[in-house]
Structure 1
């Protein structure tokens, strides 16, 4: 199948997102190797997109934004043999043009990503019956980050976990995953998601001034076993979290306050990623199935058509969008599942 023309949102230089992002029209080629090309139905914006714009994980430019994608397959790579993306073991059948899938855009190997009409996916999975593609597109990065980080922390049943910033999507996912693993969970969050988090089974207290004392009240004065720090960078919060963990910085893992954590001896999740963690070919279908059953979810703050990408970026950059910000390049086919 020949290359196809697509609108893309991408950057050609490093800088603040609004300074460097631009909308362009380019040709998206046939998918290479173990990849598929999709007509994008939905893509989720993440804080990581803005870190990429600012120089995180530097690579060849131009680059796109939007890692989390749901779409309709329109071409498959020459090495594709099954439905399990790059991890093809256990595939059940073949992926064909017209299949509705979700997964991750190849934002490293391609000059554009999911914020586009058409995207190349390097990992993809069928969307189970009962799950809307837009909801499926909320899952990949938040589930992957939360689940793998909890694995690195060796979270075990009965442990008390503090999820700091559980109103952020990784934190929101981590609360649900940790509870499913039998942990006792305390979450710090604002009022928007307090009822949700308590409904999952967490004990919730506001973040901000007085937070350590409130957490101590919930534990009866006992130390926290493990702390997961999930908000966007918030300098100055880690000393309190370390104190809550009995003063042991190795019991605190952050996904965002990298340099402060390294300086204090706390752990940074990306420093410890390693082979042997649950493969995405297991993890993402599992949580998509749970989402289809109503047993796992991530809230959506707002959806925007692709042409309103600036408004979507603005809301995401606000720092507290209250859910996933989603771009919908093409709403057709959303319920073709």
Structure 2
């Protein structure tokens, strides 16, 4: 059966653990929270041992996973096996292995599959097999018109009373970023003191987090949202931020993507590089989208361009640092915009 992450979580308490679950989609927060609920459900049913496999590229050894399915547990009678499919594509070998697992699921193993993308083209016999004996939950993108309802529901579940104006202020603050919204709501649980929140109080409680902060601006660019990144940069400038104060974070982010791009270019272990770069699971889908947009040499060029912006901002180069940074963000967001960079190669 195909569910939403929310409906999957609500069902867990009232039913036994199923042999297999798949949770996937472009909203990392919803995927992570539903996966956490499945893990907790598995622990309640005695699945104390957990093994994780990252199938992040062609070099993944599906035979190792097959052997794990057949091997007896060393520490627990029951095991939860997690298979992470960032692109939600197991390929022929992986798909056949999943179909075989679903045909005769071992009695002492539950399988949890998570992914960062999903559409009809991702599915096949393997996903149909999962849905037939387990649950398939798809975390669809939350649309702008759905965001107020999502925020209001989450506030209510966390025991925070907020009126419509307060909800709208928070929605504007997080700019559609569910993870940012969840973090702000967690803060409000501590700051609200059980008192109702109106728009004015909401503004004061979250005033320390700038509306157009640099982290969300960079996320927008990496996710291919150039216009949004440009608006956020304009907001930072209007709020009086010093551009040289932003560039440390910009350079750090681009260096991270460049390092990931080098590993991907040589068909290396991207999952290991995510760990080495200390990239949270919730951020990996954003990086993967960015990596699909530009090859490794372009990311090296973007790092150099960010360095040029920094020099201009500090008076050691010519040009308008804000304008050059805006062009860089637009290029990061859209490969067709590369000509915006002076002397850029196509």
| Larger strand percent | 1
Determine if the TM-score, normalized by the shorter chain, exceeds 0.5.
no
